[in-house]
Chains A and B, each alone.
Chain A
């Protein structure tokens, strides 16, 4: 039996001050050109929380709108707010930066985070309103702002800023080790906190008992460790701890943007093999990617659109006969020997698993590829990434004579979707559609979907290769996993039958 997708949650955190202070484009600019016009103009191009909530792609991300509805809004989307927008959606929620900073403190196990006294009092009710275990709801007392300023100015602490004000800081965890400096600790605490938010939303929206989760796989793109083991880990268990998954252990899976797909495949394998009844796959967001294309956006007088941190959580369970299944026998892989031509890549990821199943490219109702929001990528010169991926799949279908060349645009429209996910690396790679797919399968709108993730391994300078993994999801055929019959059960049934038979002889 194939494993099921039981639940999927998605969160965004509006982080405008983190764009300025922690996004890598801005950090680099401050280092090489601190008086730049870009840095001066940046604060005037940041969006408000209300604008971020009303942004159509963000409404799609948390499930208030279907991806297809974006087609009804003429691009660009940033200047066309959604009138009925809400920060709360069926699949998740959009949070404010101040709550994230409060939660960073709640997630801080080593007293590395200092928050200012009045800010602590202000944010305390927001933290209490989260579905955290009671022991994490009460923030430790705040400190005076002078202490925070001193840590920042004299001891290399990273400031925590929101509303344009310093409200706290993250201290370095070691005097010399660069893996534990305040910049890295802040990035890692943000991954942890946004992963926690994703997990909490999944528990809340789908009424899942955290104690029922035996294993967590975290699949973001940061590394937690020290100078002796830079990527030692482990975000997964640290997140499980905060969301109250006391019966869980876990591990981190890495693979750049392809990591979520690797994590899904591993989770499915663990469930199918009977190692765990269910596995929670989740990831937090990347502060470094905030405002990544900001210079191009400002050149075109656009707002900074990369102003949200993303997160997601998926619960993969034993087949329940209802929820959509992952076809673990139909997995596509970009292997070492695949090569890098677009045709070779798409053949390995798309037609490889289809050929194994005897399916045509057109037999898949929806493909989920790199679902980056074109509002962000087009002004930066990267084009419409989702659309480019769909055209490559369509071109493959033409080569296989499954569609005519003139049908390419029709194929993209009927089997593809417009992109809506923030450019947070692993966040847009295949997984944003999984939650929408869950609903579409349950509604009977689709029968088959293929989720595809790709990762740029060459960025780590260990190989020139990139990577990709795909998996086919299907509507559940409706047969639930049945508990196996043990030898003891058979022995008991036999002895009962023999006893009944003996009794009948004596009558």
Chain B
């Protein structure tokens, strides 16, 4: 059982770090529900 199973998840990614779509990809094998995902540019 994953830490994220059954959880609702908000993802905030960083373009020069880990973007949100990459994090979403990592959660695909869990039952987590991504309720909001965005990638921000901090520069």
List of A residues within 8 angstroms of B16 by Cβ: 370, 382, 385, 388-389, 454
A428 touches B43 (CB 8 A): yes
One of B25, B42, B43 near A341 (C-beta < 8 A): B25
B41 within 8 A of A: yes
List of B residues within 8 angstroms of A458 by Cβ: 39, 41
Complex formed: what's the CA distance from A9 to B43 in Å? Answer: 22
A340 touches B43 (CB 8 A): no
B-side interface mostly: loop
B41 touches A340 (CB 8 A): no
Nearest B residue (CB) for A459: B41
Within 8 A of A (CB), among B1-43: 14-22, 25, 39, 41-43
Complex formed: what's the CA distance from A428 to B41 in Å? Answer: 13
Distance in angstroms from B38 CB to nearest chain A CB is: 8
List of B residues within 8 angstroms of A425 by Cβ: 43
List of A residues within 8 angstroms of B17 by Cβ: 342, 383, 388
A466 touches B39 (CB 8 A): yes
Given A388-B16, A388-B17, A389-B16, A370 contacting B43 (CB threshold 8 A):
yes
A456 touches B21 (CB 8 A): no
A377 touches B15 (CB 8 A): no
Nearest B residue (CB) for A256: B41
B42 touches A381 (CB 8 A): yes
Given A456-B15, A466-B19, A385 contacting B43 (CB threshold 8 A):
yes
Complex formed: what's the CA distance from A380 to B18 in Å? Answer: 18
Within 8 A of B (CB), among A415-431: 423, 425, 428
List of A residues within 8 angstroms of B18 by Cβ: 341-342
One of A341, A377, A382, A388 near B22 (C-beta < 8 A): A341
List of B residues within 8 angstroms of A256 by Cβ: 41
B42 touches A380 (CB 8 A): yes
Complex formed: what's the CA distance from A381 to B15 in Å? Answer: 14
A464 within 8 A of B: yes
Q: Which of B17, B22, B41 has the most CB of A within 10 A?
A: B41
List of A residues within 8 angstroms of B25 by Cβ: 341
0 or 1 for each of A371-383: is its CB under 8 Å from B? (1 = yes) = 0100001001111
A454 touches B42 (CB 8 A): no
Extra contacts besides A341-B25, A464-B21, A466-B19 (7): CB < 8 Å: A339-B21, A339-B22, A340-B20, A372-B43, A377-B42, A388-B16, A456-B41
